Amino acid sequence: MIDLRSDTVTLPTPAMREAIARAEVGDDVYGEDPTVNRLESMAAEIVGMEAAVLVPSGTMGNLAAMLAHCPRGTKAFLGAQAHTYVYEAGGAAALGGIVMTPLRNLDNGELDLDELRDELAKPPDAHFALPGLVALENTHNLCGGTAVELSHMAAVAELAHAHRLPVHLDGARIFNAAIALETTAKKIAETADSVSFCLSKGLAAPVGSLLCGSREFIGRARRMRKMLGGGMRQAGVIAAAGIVALETMIDRLVEDHLNARALAEGLGLVAGLNVRPVKRRTNMVVFEVDGGAPAAAKFAAAMKDRGVLAHARGPSSFRAVTHHGISRRDIDRVVAAAAESAGEVFGD
Ligand SMILES: *Cc1c(COP(=O)(O)O)cnc(C)c1O
């Protein structure tokens, strides 16, 4: 199978398995796992922040961040298409009493700045929940994996900080963003007060995300991690793979971007498929199938028969994600399979 559903399907590399086997470990809830401590220092350094904490998932990283930033009953402003708003089971509202306040997301992943400005201009009237946080996402998953411009992040941060609000960045794929923006993760994180990123997506580690911020903030986030059940004991076995991921898997993401570009170009030539354009493509291609849900279901089945899996994003919309397990030859096979499948569905 050529599995393009997500970069989360990546498997740990042989070097990761070896590092896991050799990992020096201790009880991380006591702060005594040397491998976790090393990974957390590396993570903080990479994004230019004081400290970091290892969490089991990106979802927990974002949730611990929101809980640490926002008192109960305060508003977290975030994009209506944000992963944290759409795909994290409403955790911040359910567990933190946080009023998630969605703002319009533009197609390029940016927030509607006017809407944010209007929200922040509301008087501290007793009718309104007080603002607590502004959250950004880069790369932006639901906006086709596009990298979001640094200038936009800076504009959001300026507004938030003028109102004494912290900014959290969901940087699940921050290294993909850095490549697409021709900059560094540190530069991207500069505008944020906290950032989370995933080891278990394009970087191919089996488990784990890092939440990074000031020493004081990470201290509070550690308590939230414990509260959420994310305090892990000999977590060095996870961290060991994460260290290999940070040391060896970041630079190769550029291959995934080239493959995604080739895939977008190839699928764009197939009659019956419409590839969604993105401002700054990373490792995702979103495309629609003509003819609505029935045609799309037939197309997906025909692709599966030819050994290709994509993620159904809507009734007639699919997402294909390139990653470590996908080669350039696979892309050629996918494009050929798509041409055949579309021929089968729409008739040649
Ligand atoms: C995957 C993802 C997350 C959550 O990560 P998990 O490890 O799957 O919980 C958060 N934000 C974005 C943008 C993501 O793509």
**What would the pLDDT profile of 232-280 be if each residue is shown by its tens digit?**
999 999 999 999 999 999 999 999 999 999 999 999 999 999 999 999 9
Report CA(153)–ligand 1 centroid distance (Å). 19
Q: Whose CA is nearest to atom 8 of ligand 1?
A: 58
**Which residue in 178, 176, 200, 187 sits closest to 282, CA to CA?**
176
In this structure, the dihedral spanned by the alpha carbons of residues 271, 287, 344 and 2, taken in order and rounded to 10 degrees, is: 130
Count of the separate structural domains present in the chain: 2
Entry pTM: 0.97
- Percent of the residues in the chain that have a pLDDT greater than 90, as a whole number: 98
Mutate to test the pocket of ligand 1, among 63, 66, 141 (most ligand atoms within 8 A of CB): 141
- What is the SS3 assignment for 132? strand
Q: Give the confidence band of 28 by pLDDT, cuts at 50, 70, 90.
A: very high
**Which residue in 261, 281, 252, 325 sits closest to 4, CA to CA?**
325
Q: Give the confidence band of 229 by pLDDT, cuts at 50, 70, 90.
A: very high
What's the mean pLDDT in 182-200?
98
Per-residue pLDDT of 145-167, as tens digits, reads 999 999 999 999 999 999 999 99
Mutate to test the pocket of ligand 1, among 170, 196, 311 (most ligand atoms within 8 A of CB): 170
CA distances from 111 to 107, 130, 136, 149, 196 (A): 9, 20, 8, 11, 19
Q: Give the confidence band of 13 by pLDDT, cuts at 50, 70, 90.
A: very high
Q: State whether 29 and 116 are in the same domain.
A: yes
Distant-in-sequence, close-in-space partners of 278: CB < 8 Å, separation ≥ 6: 108, 143, 144, 145, 146, 284, 286
Q: How many residues does the chain have?
A: 348
Q: Give the confidence band of 91 by pLDDT, cuts at 50, 70, 90.
A: very high
Q: State whether 203 and 319 are in the same domain.
A: no
Q: Over 90: is that where the pLDDT of 124 sits?
A: no
Q: Over 70: is that where the pLDDT of 141 sits?
A: yes
Domain final position from 203, 231, 248: 248
Query: How many of the other CB atoms lie within 10 Å of CB of 347?
Result: 7
Q: Over 90: is that where the pLDDT of 14 sits?
A: yes
What's the mean pLDDT in 126-141?
97
Domain boundaries, position 216: 12-248
Domain final position from 248, 267, 285: 248
What's the mean pLDDT in 216-228?
98
The torsion angles phi and psi of 229, rounded to 5 degrees, stand at: 85, 20
- CA–centroid distance for 121 within its chain: 30
> Which helix H or strand E contains 39, and what residues bound it?
helix 34-47
Q: State whether 284 and 336 are in the same domain.
A: yes
Where are the strands (E) in 167-244, listed by range? 167-170, 194-198, 209-213
Q: Over 90: is that where the pLDDT of 75 sits?
A: yes
HSE-CB for 86 with a 13 A CA cutoff: 14
Mean pLDDT, the chain, rounded, equals 97
Report CA(172)–ligand 1 centroid distance (Å). 6
In this structure, the dihedral spanned by the alpha carbons of residues 56, 61, 10 and 278, taken in order and rounded to 10 degrees, is: 170
| Domain membership flag for residue 291 | yes
CA distances from 320 to 86, 140, 259, 330 (A): 19, 15, 11, 12
Q: State whether 49 and 192 are in the same domain.
A: yes
Asked if the bond preceding 139 is cis, omega within 30° of 0, the reply is yes
Residues touching ligand 1 (Cβ under 6 Å) are 57-59, 62, 83, 137, 141, 170, 172, 198, 200, 209
Strand arrangement, sheet containing 209-213: 51-55, 209-213, 194-198, 167-170, 131-137, 75-79, 99-103
Q: State whether 177 and 107 are in the same domain.
A: yes
Q: State whether 49 and 90 are in the same domain.
A: yes
Q: Over 70: is that where the pLDDT of 348 sits?
A: no
Strand pairing partners for 170?
Answer: 137, 196
| Domain membership flag for residue 6 | no
